Amino acid sequence: MEVRQLMKARVTVTLKSGILDPQGKAIEGALRSLGVEGVASVRQGKVFDIELEGPTDRAKAEELLKQAADKLLANTVIENYRVEVVG
Amino acid sequence: MKSAVLVFPGINRERDMARTLKLVSGVEPAMVWHAEHELPAGTDLVVVPGGFSYGDYLRCGAIAARAPIMDAVRAHAAKGGLVLGVCNGFQILCESGLLPGVLMRNQQLKFICRDVYLRVERSDTPFTRGYNAGQVIRVPVAHGEGNYIADGETIARLEGEGRVLFRYASPDGIIDPDWNHNGAINAIAGITSETGNVLGMMPHPENHVESIMGCTDGRGLFAGLSDHFGKAA
């Protein structure tokens, strides 16, 4: 029987530079108050770990991930995204 | 006025909205489930109510904006049909591309639930004909993500085309950072689409329509809409 190989991928969504990130600012302040030294600034974002069962090669996988990011995972008005096939 | 109120999982203000529509227009609205593909025939006004569709997962309104019924709402809007989005409804309309920009986390990071004052910027629209331009109304807000922002070009267009219908203001109608409770750019509380037939706003006019609510300032919006269709018919 054929064993289906799942391809593992990751989509990282971050706020565009220049977009105010109040959550990042709050985390930054919290790190300071915890005494974590040397933090200049924090910007927060989202990571999506995705398993793919459809595509057979990296190029197709990346195409599919871009579709997912454009259609739903990122709001490209304020966010950038990066797709990577990790294995 | 035949209205349709959309219902998504996690929405919780749809009954307030339906009650107000019935009260002011005299016609019971249709409640339309998100998985439907069509609006009831003859729908004049589509209302996307407030709440927490899909638990605000991913981004507020993101998942609801991609529901099957939204294609029908887009078609309704493309034909010039009126669409009103309140609170989460505003977020859904932005996420669906029917309105530009985005509602970010409130500047102070707090969920804000209280009455605010809005300055009505113009009265020559179906949504604001029940008010006078410059009039100040008091309506409640209840949101954590109401901080409106868009790129500079979009903001310039919204302002230039007179598409900002409501701004957060002082009780005297002064625009001031102290009265802009969520930090929205230019104190924007409500905007319309390019064609003027889609309005999104964070405050809840449907919750100030009867004296028992302590204020009836929100009634003008629904009375205006009702008049608009009454006279058009």
- The CATH number that applies at residue B96 is 3.40.50.880
Residue from the list A23, A71, A77 with its beta carbon closest to the beta carbon of B105 = A23
Q: Could you give the C-alpha distances from B92 to A62, B85, B96, in angstroms and in order?
A: 28, 8, 6
Residue from the list A20, A23, A75 with its beta carbon closest to the beta carbon of B59 = A75
Q: Which residue has the tokens 């195409």?
A: A63
Number of domains in chain B: 1
**Burial of B140 by CB count in 10 Å (0-12 exposed, 13-18 middle, 19+ buried)?**
buried
Residue B231 pLDDT greater than 70, yes or no = no
DSSP symbol at A27: H
The per-residue pLDDT for A21 is 87
Q: What is the value of ipTM here, to two decimals?
A: 0.82
Residue B233 pLDDT greater than 70, yes or no = no
Query: Does A22 contact chain B (CB < 8 Å)?
Result: yes
**Residues on chain A touching B108 (C-beta within 8 angstroms):** 22
Percent of chain A whose pLDDT exceeds 70: 95
Say if strands B188-192 and B164-169 run parallel, antiparallel, or are unpaired. Answer: antiparallel
Residue B27's domain comprises: 3-232
* Domains of chain A, each with CATH number or no CATH: 7-85 (3.30.1280.10)
pLDDT tens string B194-226: 999 999 999 999 999 999 999 999 999 999 999
What is the C-alpha separation between B226 and B126, in angstroms, rounded? Answer: 9
Q: Could you give the C-alpha distances from B22 to B15, B113, B162, B205, in angstroms and in order?
A: 10, 25, 30, 14
**Burial of B36 by CB count in 10 Å (0-12 exposed, 13-18 middle, 19+ buried)?**
middle
Angle subtended by helix axes B14-25 and B219-232, to nearest 10: 50
Query: B residues 136-165 near A, CB within 8 Å?
Result: 149-151
Q: What is the pTM of this model?
A: 0.93
Query: Does A18 contact chain B (CB < 8 Å)?
Result: no
**A82, two tokens:** 């990066």
**Residues on chain A touching B66 (C-beta within 8 angstroms):** 71-72
